[in-house]
Amino acid sequence: MISNIDQSKIKLGQTVKRLFALSAITGFIFTSCTKNFEAINTDPQGFTTATDGSLFNNVIQSLVPTGNEMFYIENEILYKQTQQAALTNAAWGNFTIGTEDIWSNYYTSLPEIRELERRFDTYDTIGEVRNMRAMLKITRALKTFKVTDLFGDMPFSEAGYGFQNLALLHPKYDTQRDIYLSLLDDLAWADENLDVFATTKEPFKSFIAFDKLFHGDILQWQKLANSLRLRYALRMSEVEPELGGAIIKNILENKRPVIDGYDFVTSKLESACLWPIAVGFKHEALNWSFREHENLRMGSVFWSFVSYHDSTDGSGIFDPRAMIFFETNNANEWKAYPQIPPAGTPPSGGIPYESHRDQEGAYSIKGESNIYSAFNYFLIRDEDQMPIIFVTGAEVHFIKSEVYFRGIGVAEDKMQAEIEYFNGINSSVEWWLQRAANSKLPLSGIEFPEVITIPQWLNAATVQGRYGFWNATSEEEKLRFIYAQWWLDAFRQPQEAYALARRTRMTPREGDPINHFRLPYPPSEAAYNAENMNEAISRQGGDSPETRLWWMP
């Protein structure tokens, strides 16, 4: 575990790095004393010699969540708020370590994005350059939507230009509405300008080698652009129904390409993910965030949506994702922690996330006090095969299902909504079964199927048998079915489940309605950009978790 002193050093270093990135990389405005000092006077993080591809590679790399983000934000806050899991002990109140990491990650990569934008403006307007520009716009949108949906208003239109214009060292905060509309325009531009045939000329030929997301597949970039348009147009449709509906209508009625999970009986299982082993890194921070945090277990809400009853032998399980997302306790029993624990509830314990389990003969040792089902060890220990997920085909199907069910931007069509719903379930279950089948532990090489047997009769059909629309007693319950399956599919995307819960207030839940809507701005902003931050806080009505974002009804 990193000490508080070390964490403070990390925060200071990140703040200095951000200031350095936004402050014009000041070495640019001074010349070297002599030619012999050129190497010394060249900032190693500067843009003087970095290629377009290497800068883009850094931007893609910044999509990887940090250990502190996963530890302090996902594990300590988001899983609790979404009730996808149970937080058995709220022991890490210093969440600002996580917010600082999210903020710093975004604003230290933004100058690289601005530099690429500047370069692209100087190139000939050919299809290959438009492809590069579109890929950058999509990546910037992916990053920016994430941050604004956690914090609300944020510096955007003036941010990242400090190395070009010293007057923009303290950028204004844009409203979330303006940010959304700008990004959605960017994604529409990307959809219109991506050209699958414009791949042979420079500078694209060199640039594409650094595409670690889709490895040069322009059609997949186009599908990601439109899938993000669907996601965020739907999200804003509660407060901007005409604008959001128009975007949704444009995509669906014009059959714009989107990430696909299932086509009736044809399995496609497309997704937008970073696969560690494919891009050459080990996602070591994932296991660290669980191993040091310790306090997440399967909750009673999740259990009630994957099992018919509470038998500890697992005989009630009808959803195979239960056995991919969680595992039995130390006594090989399925036991959920109460989502709202009554007084006297035994504490969680044991060592289910420790690395000793990645050794021959030690996998089943979880500690005698591990009396509740923990996250599946493969899910949080496999640093090579478990992807960082951005969008899945299943999510796109659930978006379409809600859109047709409610008639958002398109005519209400309950039959099409049901088709998309079943496609979503098929996609999600099969996609996660693939992840399990291909997962193995990094040290011992133990493979998932060697130690965990998912009965073959557990599949998408058994999920549909319980949550098919025919089991619903009302139209509202059908809608809740859609949200529940969407919520389950987003198990390793707690931020997306958090957005779904905040927007709909209809995701699976025990107790009071969700009353946590955003993250407070990181403390470094008060020191660096206080005037603009305070104006944004006043405009939004506060800086507390109870302050609602613009798109929340």
Whether the upstream peptide bond of residue 203 has omega within 30° of 0, thus cis, is: yes
Kindly calculate the radius of gyration of the chain based on its CA atoms and give it in whole angstroms: 24
Above 50 in pLDDT, residue 42?
Answer: no
Name all contacts of 252-259 with Cβ < 8 Å and 24+ positions apart: 252/400, 252/403, 252/409, 252/410, 253/410, 256/191, 256/226, 257/219, 257/222, 257/223, 257/226, 258/223, 258/226, 258/227, 258/230, 258/396, 259/220, 259/223, 259/224, 259/227, 259/391, 259/392, 259/393, 259/396
Q: Which of 4-13, 68-77, 82-91, 119-128 has the lowest mean pLDDT?
A: 4-13
> Which residues 6+ apart lie within 8 Å of 361 measured at CB?
none
What's the pLDDT at 36? 29
Does residue 23 have a pLDDT over 50?
no
Contact in structure between 391 and 138 (CB atoms under 8 Å): no
Asked if residue 509 has pLDDT above 80, the reply is yes
User: Is pLDDT of 24 > 80?
Assistant: no
Residues whose CB falls within 8 Å of the CB of residue 200, separated by 6 or more in sequence, listed in order = 128
Q: Is residue 328 part of a domain?
A: no
| pLDDT single digits (tens) 161-213 | 988 887 888 999 999 999 999 999 999 999 999 999 999 999 999 999 999 99
pLDDT band at residue 48 using 50, 70 and 90 as cut-offs = low
User: pLDDT tens digits, residue range 366-415?
Assistant: 999 999 999 999 999 999 999 999 999 999 999 999 999 999 999 999 99
User: What DSSP designation does 327 have?
Assistant: -
Q: Is residue 227 part of a domain?
A: yes
pLDDT at 73: 98
Alpha-carbon separation of residue 206 from 49, 52, 155, 376, 442 (angstroms):
15, 9, 32, 40, 33
Specify if 316 maps to a domain.
Answer: no
**Percent of the chain's residues with pLDDT above 90:** 87
Encoded amino acid at 363, one letter: Y
Over residues 336-346, mean pLDDT: 96
- Tokens 């036991």 sit at which residue? 335
> How many Å apart are CA 137 and CA 510, to the nearest integer?
39
Do 265 and 426 touch, CB atoms closer than 8 A?
no
Q: Tell me if residue 124 falls in helix, strand or coil.
A: coil
Q: What is the residue-wise DSSP string for 370-399?
A: --SPPBPHHHHH-TTTS-EEEEEHHHHHHH
Q: Which residue has tokens 């995509």?
A: 251
- Cα 325 → chain centroid: 17
pLDDT category, 29, cuts 50, 70, 90?
Answer: very low
Q: Is residue 547 part of a domain?
A: no
Phi, psi (rounded to 5 degrees) for 281:
-140, 160
CA 252 to chain centre: 24
Asked whether the whole model's pTM tops 0.85, one would answer yes
The answer to whether residue 234 scores a pLDDT higher than 90 is yes
Looking at the DSSP bridge assignments, the partners of residue 389 are: 273
Cα angle 397, 379, 389; round to 5: 40
Distances in Å between the Cα of 51 and the Cα atoms of 5, 30, 45, 140, 362 are 37, 22, 12, 18, 47
Range of the structural domain that residue 158 is part of = 4-33+42-283+384-507+518-535
Is a pLDDT exceeding 90 seen at residue 18? no
Between 75 and 42, whose confidence is greater?
75
> If we measure between CA atoms, which residue out of 371, 348, 391 comes closest to residue 492?
391
Q: What are phi and psi of 470, to 5 degrees?
A: -65, -15
Neighbours of 479 (CB within 10 A): 18
Contact 147, 103 (CB under 8 A): yes
Residue 139's identity, in one-letter code, is T
CATH code, domain with 243:
1.25.40.390
Rounded Cα–Cα distance for residues 553 and 546 (Å):
14
As a whole number, the mean pLDDT across the chain is 91
**Residue 125 placed within a domain:** yes
In three-state form (DSSP H/G/I as H, E/B as E, the rest C), the secondary structure along 209-251 is HHCCCCCCCHHHHHHHHHHHHHHHHHHHCCCCHHHHHHHHHHH
Q: Which two tokens stand for residue 231?
A: 């996601």
- The angle subtended at Cα 117 by Cα 243 and Cα 141, nearest 5°, is 35
pLDDT bucket at 47, cuts 50 / 70 / 90: low
Buried b (16+ CB within 10 A) or exposed e, 306-330: bbeeeeeeeeebbbbbbbbbbbbbb
Give the DSSP per-residue string, 413-454.
Answer: -HHHHHHHHHHHHHHHHHHHHHHHHT-B-TTT--BHHHH---
Residues whose CB falls within 8 Å of the CB of residue 63, separated by 6 or more in sequence, listed in order: 139, 142, 143, 213, 274, 388, 390
**102-149 pLDDT, tens digit each:** 999 999 999 999 999 999 999 999 999 999 999 999 999 999 999 999
Give domain status of residue 338, yes or no.
no
pLDDT (mean) for 303-319: 98
Q: Judging by DSSP bridges, how do beta strands 271-274 and 266-267 pair with one another? A: unpaired
Residues 461, 530: Cα–Cα separation, whole Å: 54
159 φ, ψ (degrees, to nearest 5): -85, 145
Is residue 109 one of the residues assigned to a domain?
Answer: yes
Q: Is 174 helix (H, G, I), strand (E, B) or coil?
A: strand
pLDDT per residue over 416-453, tens digit each?
Answer: 999 999 999 999 999 999 999 999 999 999 999 999 99
- 317: helix, strand or coil: strand
Burial of 93 (0-12, 13-18, 19+ CB in 10 A): exposed
pLDDT at residue number 464: 98
Residue 22 has pLDDT above 90, yes or no: no
How many structural domains is the chain composed of? 1
Query: What is the pLDDT, as a whole number, of residue 279?
Result: 87
Q: Which pLDDT belongs to residue 46? A: 53
Residue at 356 is within a domain: no
Can you give the pLDDT at residue 265? 80
